[in-house]
C-alpha cells in the first residue's frame, strides 16, 4: 500500500520536474532564475542591534537543488562561499549578521547526510535526493573563530591573514558587500571566478536551472527601520544567442573571459528613479568587468584595485520643472577629487542623495528625477565585453524615507529603479544636456 | 533672432534623437521598464479619517517627448468611474494623492503649450519637449471635480449607490468607509473623456512605452507605509503575442480580444511569502489584482456583476517544511474581486509562516469563452505587504511563475494536491520513540473522519486506546492521538489512518490516495 502511495508521489513529482517558468532573457523580471543577486548588504560587526541584512532563497520547483552562495566585498573580491540544499519548494532565510559576526551557517543537508530528515525535512510534493558531494560539508559547521575574524576584516576593508584586502575601509565597523546565489550540481567550494565553476550549457559546477527566487531585508532595530526588496533574478539560457554566443555580455562574463559559458543574462546599464532631498538612499551594484581578487592593502581610488573607481557615461538630475543638470565629473587629472563627484565608485554601495556637500550624490533641488547612465569603459578590462566594451551592467534600488527622517517611527520603503535598457543591447543614451 | 532659431533647430534635433522610446520592449514578462500603460493594482483611501489609509502614486515620463496620460479609476469590481488626462512634458513627473481627489476633488493641474502659453502650469526644461494638444483646450488644466463627481466616486468606490450610475452600485460594500479600487494610466494621443471600456476610446490609445511610476500606501494612524513600482504594461505594434486577434492582451476584455490595445497581459501564476508570527506581531496582506475576463458594468445594489465571485484554479500554501495545504475548494471566494487586499491569515492556513502559490486562472468547467487563445486564462498581479506590530511595512512583488501570453498548461507544472495528502508523526521507521509520544496525523486540507479512522497497535494486532484532539469528526487539518495509557516500552508499534474513513473538505468527497501508515519502535 505504501509502495502505491510512493509511486503516485514519484509520478506527481516527475510531472513537476520541468522549470517552473519560461525564461525571458534580456529584461529584469521577478521570475525564477538560475542566479540571484543581493546587490548590497550591510552588517554592523560590533552592534547586534545595528544595521543587518537578511535574505531568503526559495526553490520554485519540486526538484531538490543546491544553491551556492558567494559573499563578495564591495570591491568585488570573493570572501567565502557555502552551499544550501533545498528540497522541492524549500526556502531558507539567512541572517547575515549571525553569519558574519558569529560564523553561523544555514543548516541544510541532502538525503545522504540527513537520512532521518532532521535537518532538511521535506513535504510530500518535494523531492529529497542525495548529493554525495555534500558528504562532510553539509550540514555545515560554523566558521572557526579565526575565519570569522578574517571575514569581518575583509568586509570592512581590513586585511586577511596574509595582509591582503578586498574592500573599502570606511572606518565605521560596517561589513559591506554583495551576494550571488547560483544553482549548482555539487557541493562545490569554488568561486565563480575559478576554472570549472562554469561550463557552457551548465556543464560546470553551475547549472542553468531557473528555479531560485529570493528577497532581502535591511533591518536596523536601533533606528526602527526595515526595508525589503526582491533579489535580482538572473535567468540562464543555453540556447538564446544573447547568453550563449562568445563575446556577448553575460552576467558573469568577467569570470569566463566573456565566452558566455555562464549562460546568464546581464542586467541593465541605464536607470531612472525619483529622489527627494535627504530622503533618498540609492543602493547601486556595478560590474567591475574584471576578475578581481584580493589586493595589497588598502584600497585607494585611482591606485588599487586597478579599476577603482568606476566611471559613468552620464548622471543627470532633473528638478520638478524638468530643469536638467549633468552631474559634474572630477577635473581631469585631479588626484584627489571630491568624493561625491564620483558617486558610485565601487561594485556595491549605498549613496545618500541630498542638497549639500555631505551627501554622496548632491541634489540640486528638493525633489526630482535621477538619470543614471552607468555604462563605462574600464581600462583593465580592455576591450571587454567584446560585444560593447563601453557597456557596463548595474542595478539600482531606491530606499526612501517619505515621512520624518528622525524620531521613533521612521517610515521607509524600497523601490527598484526603472531600467531604461538592457546590457544585452546597451543603448548608451546621452541626454543632450547643456 | 537667427541665433534663437538656430537654438530651436538644435533643440528640435536633440529632442528628435530622444523621441524614440527609451527602453526596448520585451513583451510577455512583468518587468519594471517604461511602458504604455501603468497599473496601480489596488488603492484604498479612508474617507473618514484623514490620517487613515491613503494611496499616492507618481507618473513619470521617461522620454524627452511630451505625452498625455489618461488616468482611469476603477472600482474593486472593475467598473470604471472617473477619468482625466495629465499632460507631461519630457522627463516630467506628476504625483497624484488619491485622498485629495476623493476628499475634495483636487485634480492634478497640468496643461499643454496651447493651454499654458506662459508655462505657469506645466513648465519644462531645456531638453523637455512641450507641445500643444489642441484637443485639451477646455479640458486642461483640469478643474476640480464637481461636488456631484466627488459624491459619485465616493459612493461608487465604497459600494454605495451612485446617481451617476442611475442609482446602481459598482463596488463591494465593505461598510468601513474606505474607498477601494484600482487605477490604470494609458498613453493617449489626445485629451478625451472616454473610459477604456468604451469603443470610442480605441483611436486615442497609443503605444508609447514611456511611463513609469511608483505607488505608496501610507497609514499615519498605523505608522505604516508600503511602496512598489506601478505595474508596467508594455505595448508592441509588431509582436504577434499582442497584435494578432484572439491573443490575450491586457485590455482584451474591452476590445473583444481583437488585440487592438497591443498591450501585454500579466501573469496567471504567482508565489509570495507569508510572514505571520504573533510573537513579532507580523502580518502579511496580499494585494491581488485580477482580470474578470469580461467588462463590468454597474449593477442593482444588493447584486453583483455576473462574473462575481471570480473563482481560481489552484491555491496551495506551504509551511516552511514544504508541507502543502489546500485551504479551501478552488471555487471558494478567495480573491473574488478585481482588486482586493486580503489578510493572509484569512486564507485558512494552519501555519503562521510559509508561502502561498496561487494560479489565478479559472478552474475547468466555468463556461468561459474568452480569451480565444486560452479560455481559462486570467491575468493577475500579486503584491505582498508585511508589517510588524503595525509598523515597518515592507512591500514585495509576487514572483510571476508564468505569463498570460502562454499560460503553462492548466493543472500542470504546479503543486497539485489532488487527492489530498496526509503525513504522520512519528515517521515511518522511527526508533527510540518515547512511550509518552503522541501520534499526530496532519493533512493538506481540513478533513472529516469516522470514529474508526485511526488505529494504534503495539505490537501489531494489539490495539492501544487513545483520545483525540480535536475530539469528534472534525473538520480539522490535524488530529493528535494521545495513547491511554502510555505506549508499551521497547515495542514495535503501528499507527494507521484509514483512507476510506478520512474525507477532504477542499477536494470535496475525496479520500487520501492510500492509508497513512507508520511503523515505529518505542524506547526501552
Give the least confident one: A100-109, A207-216, B1-10, B347-356.
B1-10
> Which spans in A40-105 are helix H?
96-102
Q: Is a pLDDT exceeding 90 seen at residue A230? A: yes
Q: Contact, B481 vs B456, CB < 8 A?
A: yes
Phi/psi at A122 (5° precision):
-140, 155
Among B20, B30, B25, B36, residue whose Cα is nearest residue B263: B36
Distance from C-alpha of A23 to C-alpha of A233, rounded to nearest angstrom: 11
Strand pairing class (A361-362; A348-354): parallel
Give the least confident one: A180-184, B275-279, B309-313.
B275-279
Q: Is a pLDDT exceeding 80 seen at residue A287? A: yes
| Helices first, then strands: H and E counts in chain A | 4, 21
Averaged pLDDT score across all residues of chain A: 90
pLDDT confidence of residue B516: 93
Query: What are the pLDDT digits (tens) for A381-413?
Result: 999 999 999 999 999 999 998 765 455 556 788
The mean pLDDT of B513-524, rounded to a whole number, is 93
Give the distance from residue B14's alpha carbon to the nearest chain A alpha carbon, in angstroms: 6
In percent, how much of chain B has pLDDT > 70?
Answer: 92
Query: What are the pLDDT digits (tens) for B441-456?
Result: 988 888 999 999 999 9
The mean pLDDT of A8-23, rounded to a whole number, is 41
Chain B contact present for A149, CB below 8 A: no
Which of A12, A224, A402 lies nearest to residue B216, judging by beta carbons?
A402
Q: Is a pLDDT exceeding 60 seen at residue A15? A: no
Q: Is a pLDDT exceeding 50 seen at residue A19? A: no
Q: Is a pLDDT exceeding 60 seen at residue A17? A: no
Query: What are the pLDDT digits (tens) for B129-141?
Result: 999 999 999 999 9
Helix (H) or strand (E) holding B128: none
Q: Is a pLDDT exceeding 70 seen at residue B390? A: no
pLDDT confidence of residue A409: 54
Q: Is a pLDDT exceeding 80 seen at residue B5? A: no
In percent, how much of chain A has pLDDT > 70?
Answer: 93
Q: Which residue has the higher pLDDT, B390 or B433?
A: B433
Report CB contact under 8 Å: B273, A121: no
Q: Is a pLDDT exceeding 60 seen at residue A11? A: no
Q: Contact, B141 vs B115, CB < 8 A?
A: yes
pLDDT confidence of residue B90: 94
Residue B283 is placed in which grid cell? Answer: 502580518
Exposure of B381 in the CB half-sphere (CA atoms within 13 A): 24
Considering only CB atoms, which chain B residues are within 8 Å of A412? Answer: 225
Considering only CB atoms, which chain A residues are within 8 Å of B29? Answer: 24, 27, 29, 31
Among B184, B64, B198, B88, residue whose Cα is nearest residue B136: B88
Averaged pLDDT score across all residues of chain B: 90
Positive or negative torsion for Cα A419, A423, A425, A426: positive
Query: What are the pLDDT digits (tens) for A43-78?
Result: 999 999 999 999 999 999 999 999 999 999 999 999
Distance from C-alpha of A245 to C-alpha of A196, rounded to nearest angstrom: 19
Q: What share of chain B is helix, strand, coil (3-state, %, to 5)?
A: 15, 35, 50
pTM of the model: 0.91
pLDDT confidence of residue B325: 86
**A18-42 burial code (b ≥16 CB/10 A, e <16):** ebbbbbbbbbbbbbbbbbbbbbbbb
Report CB contact under 8 Å: A324, B125: yes
Q: Which residue has the higher pLDDT, B69 or A411?
A: B69
pLDDT confidence of residue B8: 35
List all residues of chain A from 1 to 20 with a beta carbon under 8 Å from chain B.
1-2, 4-5, 8, 12, 15-16, 18, 20
Q: Is a pLDDT exceeding 70 seen at residue B231? A: yes
Considering only CB atoms, which chain A residues are within 8 Å of B510? Answer: none
Q: Is a pLDDT exceeding 90 seen at residue B76? A: yes
Confidence grade of residue A16 (pLDDT, cut at 50, 70, 90):
very low
The mean pLDDT of B124-152, rounded to a whole number, is 96
- Which three-class secondary structure state does DSSP give residue B62? coil
- Entry field: residues in chain B: 524
Q: Which residue has the higher pLDDT, A226 or A136?
A: A136
pLDDT confidence of residue B181: 98
In percent, how much of chain B has pLDDT > 90?
Answer: 70
Q: Contact, B400 vs B367, CB < 8 A?
A: no
pLDDT confidence of residue A306: 96
Residue B311 is placed in which grid cell? Answer: 473563482
**B467-489 burial code (b ≥16 CB/10 A, e <16):** ebeeeebbbbbbbbbebeeebee
Give the distance from residue B505's alpha carbon to the nearest chain A alpha carbon, in angstroms: 19
Query: What are the pLDDT digits (tens) for A291-331?
Result: 999 999 999 998 999 999 999 999 999 998 889 988 888 77
Positive or negative torsion for Cα A323, A329, A332, A336: positive
Considering only CB atoms, which chain B residues are within 8 Å of A420? Answer: 22-23, 33-34, 62
Residue A41 is placed in which grid cell? Answer: 548588504
Report CB contact under 8 Å: A30, B400: yes
Helix (H) or strand (E) holding A362: strand A361-362
Q: Is a pLDDT exceeding 90 seen at residue B249? A: yes
* CA-based R_g, chain A, Å: 22
Dihedral angle computed from the Cα positions of residues A119, A120, A121 and A122, in that order, rounded to the nearest 10 degrees? -170
Amino acid at each position: 500500500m505504501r509502495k502505491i502511495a510512493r509511486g503516485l508521489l514519484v509520478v506527481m513529482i516527475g510531472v513537476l520536474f520541468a522549470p517552473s517558468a519560461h525564461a525571458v532573457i534580456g529584461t529584469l523580471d521577478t521570475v525564477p532564475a538560475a542566479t540571484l543577486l543581493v546587490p548590497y548588504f550591510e552588517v554592523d560587526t560590533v552592534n547586534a542591534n545595528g544595521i543587518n541584512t537578511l535574505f531568503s532563497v526559495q526553490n520554485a520547483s519540486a526538484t531538490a537543488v543546491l544553491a551556492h552562495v558567494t559573499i563578495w566585498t564591495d570591491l568585488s573580491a570573493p570572501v567565502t562561499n557555502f552551499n544550501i540544499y533545498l528540497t522541492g519548494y524549500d526556502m531558507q532565510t539567512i541572517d547575515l549578521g549571525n553569519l558574519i559576526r558569529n560564523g553561523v551557517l544555514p543548516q541544510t543537508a541532502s538525503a545522504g547526510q540527513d537520512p532521518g530528515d532532521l535537518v532538511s525535512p521535506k513535504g510530500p510534493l518535494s523531492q529529497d535526493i542525495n548529493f554525495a558531494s555534500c558528504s562532510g560539508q553539509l550540514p555545515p559547521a560554523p566558521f572557526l573563530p579565526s575565519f570569522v575574524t578574517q571575514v569581518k576584516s575583509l568586509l570592512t576593508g581590513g586585511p586577511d591573514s596574509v595582509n591582503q584586502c578586498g574592500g573599502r575601509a570606511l572606518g565605521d565597523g560596517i561589513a559591506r558587500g554583495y551576494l550571488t546565489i547560483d544553482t549548482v550540481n555539487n557541493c562545490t567550494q569554488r568561486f565563480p571566478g575559478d576554472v570549472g565553476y562554469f561550463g557552457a550549457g551548465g556543464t560546470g559546477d553551475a547549472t542553468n536551472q531557473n528555479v531560485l527566487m529570493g528577497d532581502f531585508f535591511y533591518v536596523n532595530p536601533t533606528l526602527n527601520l526595515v526595508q525589503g526588496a526582491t533579489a535580482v533574478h538572473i535567468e540562464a539560457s543555453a540556447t538564446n544567442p544573447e547568453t550563449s554566443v562568445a563575446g556577448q555580455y553575460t552576467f558573469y562574463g568577467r569570470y569566463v573571459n566573456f565566452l558566455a559559458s555562464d549562460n546568464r543574462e546581464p542586467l541593465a546599464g541605464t536607470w531612472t528613479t525619483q529622489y527627494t532631498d535627504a530622503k533618498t538612499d540609492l543602493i547601486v551594484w556595478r560590474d567591475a568587468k574584471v576578475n578581481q581578487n584580493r589586493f595589497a592593502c588598502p584600497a585607494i581610488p585611482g591606485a588599487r584595485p586597478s579599476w577603482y573607481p568606476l566611471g559613468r557615461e552620464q548622471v543627470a538630475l532633473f528638478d520638478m520643472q524638468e530643469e536638467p543638470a549633468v552631474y559634474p565629473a572630477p577635473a581631469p587629472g585631479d588626484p584627489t577629487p571630491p568624493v561625491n563627484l564620483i558617486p558610485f565608485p565601487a561594485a556595491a554601495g549605498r549613496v545618500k542623495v541630498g542638497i549639500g556637500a555631505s551627501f554622496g550624490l548632491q541634489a540640486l533641488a528638493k525633489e526630482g528625477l535621477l538619470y543614471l547612465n552607468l555604462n563605462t569603459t574600464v581600462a583593465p578590462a580592455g576591450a571587454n565585453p567584446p560585444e560593447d566594451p563601453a557597456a557596463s551592467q548595474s542595478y539600482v534600488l531606491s530606499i526612501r524615507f517619505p515621512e520624518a527622517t528622525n524620531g521613533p517611527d521612521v517610515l521607509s520603503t524600497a523601490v527598484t529603479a526603472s531600467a531604461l535598457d538592457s546590457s544585452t543591447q546597451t543603448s548608451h543614451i546621452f541626454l543632450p544636456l547643456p | 533672432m537667427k541665433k534663437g532659431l538656430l537654438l530651436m533647430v538644435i533643440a528640435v534635433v536633440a529632442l528628435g534623437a530622444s523621441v524614440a522610446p527609451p527602453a526596448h520592449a520585451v513583451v510577455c514578462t512583468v518587468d519594471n521598464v517604461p511602458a504604455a500603460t501603468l497599473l496601480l493594482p489596488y488603492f484604498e483611501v479612508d474617507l473618514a479619517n484623514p490620517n487613515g489609509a491613503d494611496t499616492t502614486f507618481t507618473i513619470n515620463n521617461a522620454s524627452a517627448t511630451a505625452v498625455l496620460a489618461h488616468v482611469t479609476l476603477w472600482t474593486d469590481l472593475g467598473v470604471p468611474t472617473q477619468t482625466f488626462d495629465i499632460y507631461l512634458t519630457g522627463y516630467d513627473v506628476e504625483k497624484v494623492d488619491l485622498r485629495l481627489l476623493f476628499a475634495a476633488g483636487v485634480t492634478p493641474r497640468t496643461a499643454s503649450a496651447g493651454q499654458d502659453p506662459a508655462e505657469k502650469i506645466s513648465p519644462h526644461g531645456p531638453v523637455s519637449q512641450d507641445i500643444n494638444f489642441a484637443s485639451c483646450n477646455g479640458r486642461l488644466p483640469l478643474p476640480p471635480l464637481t461636488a456631484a463627481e466627488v459624491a459619485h466616486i465616493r459612493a461608487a468606490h465604497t459600494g454605495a449607490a451612485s446617481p451617476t450610475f442611475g442609482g446602481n452600485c459598482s463596488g463591494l460594500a465593505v461598510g468601513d468607509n474606505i474607498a477601494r479600487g484600482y487605477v490604470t494610466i494609458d498613453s493617449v494621443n489626445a485629451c478625451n473623456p472616454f473610459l477604456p471600456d468604451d469603443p470610442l476610446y480605441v483611436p486615442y490609445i497609443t503605444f508609447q512605452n514611456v511611463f513609469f511610476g511608483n505607488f505608496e500606501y501610507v497609514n499615519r494612524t498605523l505608522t505604516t507605509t508600503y511602496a512598489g513600482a506601478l505595474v508596467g504594461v508594455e505595448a508592441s505594434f509588431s509582436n504577434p503575442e499582442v497584435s494578432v486577434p484572439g491573443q490575450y492582451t491586457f485590455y482584451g476584455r474591452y476590445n473583444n480580444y481583437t488585440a487592438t490595445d497591443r498591450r501585454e497581459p500579466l501573469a496567471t501564476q504567482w508565489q509570495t511569502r507569508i510572514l505571520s508570527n504573533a510573537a513579532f506581531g507580523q502580518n502579511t496582506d496580499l494585494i491581488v489584482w485580477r482580470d474578470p475576463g469580461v467588462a463590468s458594468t454597474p449593477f442593482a445594489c444588493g447584486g453583483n456583476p455576473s462574473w462575481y465571485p471570480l473563482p481560481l484554479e489552484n491555491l496551495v500554501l506551504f509551511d516552511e517544511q514544504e508541507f502543502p495545504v489546500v485551504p479551501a475548494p478552488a471555487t471558494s471566494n478567495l480573491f473574488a474581486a478585481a482588486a482586493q487586499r486580503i489578510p493572509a491569515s484569512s486564507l485558512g492556513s494552519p501555519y503562521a509562516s510559509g508561502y502561498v502559490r496561487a494560479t489565478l486562472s479559472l478552474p475547468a468547467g466555468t463556461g468561459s469563452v474568452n480569451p480565444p487563445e486560452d479560455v481559462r486564462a486570467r491575468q493577475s498581479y500579486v503584491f505582498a505587504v508585511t508589517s510588524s506590530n503595525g509598523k515597518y511595512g515592507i512591500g514585495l512583488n509576487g514572483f510571476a511563475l508564468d505569463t498570460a501570453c502562454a499560460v503553462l498548461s492548466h493543472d500542470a507544472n504546479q503543486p497539485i494536491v489532488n487527492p489530498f495528502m496526509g503525513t504522520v508523526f512519528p515517521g515511518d521507521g522511527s526508533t527510540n520513540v518515547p512511550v509518552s509520544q503522541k501520534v499526530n496525523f496532519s493533512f493538506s486540507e481540513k478533513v472529516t473522519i469516522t470514529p474508526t479512522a485511526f488505529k494504534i497497535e503495539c505490537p501489531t494486532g494489539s490495539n492501544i486506546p487513545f483520545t483525540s484532539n480535536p475530539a469528534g469528526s472534525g473538520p480539522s487539518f490535524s488530529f493528535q492521538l494521545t495513547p491511554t495509557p502510555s505506549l508499551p516500552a521497547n515495542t514495535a508499534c503501528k499507527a494507521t489512518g484509514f483512507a476510506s474513513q478520512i474525507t477532504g473538505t477542499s477536494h470535496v468527497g475525496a479520500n487520501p490516495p492510500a492509508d497513512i501508515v507508520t511503523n515505529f519502535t518505542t524506547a526501552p
